[in-house]
Amino acid sequence: MFRGKTSGSAVFVLASGANRVNEKLLAALLGEKIEKADADFVREQTGYAIGGVPPVGHANPLVSYLDEDLLQYQELWAAAGTPNALFSLTPAQLCLITSGKVVALKKV
């Protein structure tokens, strides 16, 4: 979860836990500098605590981006509302339920 420095807008990024997000690319996509969201902002925007934020069912509509690297996997695991709950889905299902834009955000 990121926050636009000027707008204060929430930006939700779905990426592999093994990867880092290229924040410069994300900022370029958004047209403004970004910062990592703090725990209070994440809970306010999503309704969930950090570590348990699912890809859908958020308290507020979020701009969402999916790192294209996720598309290589047959099965994905996502948080299901708590830090101790997960569910599986395919990359196609993730794209469908989030309506997120697929972009290259993996930091190399």
Domains (range + CATH), the chain: 2-103 (3.90.960.10)
The reported pLDDT for the residue numbered 82 is 92
Could you read off the pLDDT tens digit of each residue along the chain, which spans 108 residues?
999 999 999 999 999 989 999 999 999 999 999 999 999 999 999 999 999 999 999 999 999 999 999 999 999 999 999 989 999 999 999 999 999 999 999 999
The reported pLDDT for the residue numbered 100 is 93
The reported pLDDT for the residue numbered 9 is 96
Contact 19, 69 (CB under 8 A): yes
The Cα 73–Cα 91 span in angstroms is: 7
The Cα 101–Cα 5 span in angstroms is: 21
Kindly report whether the global pTM for this prediction surpasses the value 0.85.
yes
Q: What are phi and psi of 64, to 5 degrees?
A: -125, 140
Contact 57, 5 (CB under 8 A): no
The reported pLDDT for the residue numbered 8 is 96
The reported pLDDT for the residue numbered 79 is 95
The reported pLDDT for the residue numbered 10 is 97
The Cα 8–Cα 93 span in angstroms is: 29
Contact 2, 13 (CB under 8 A): yes
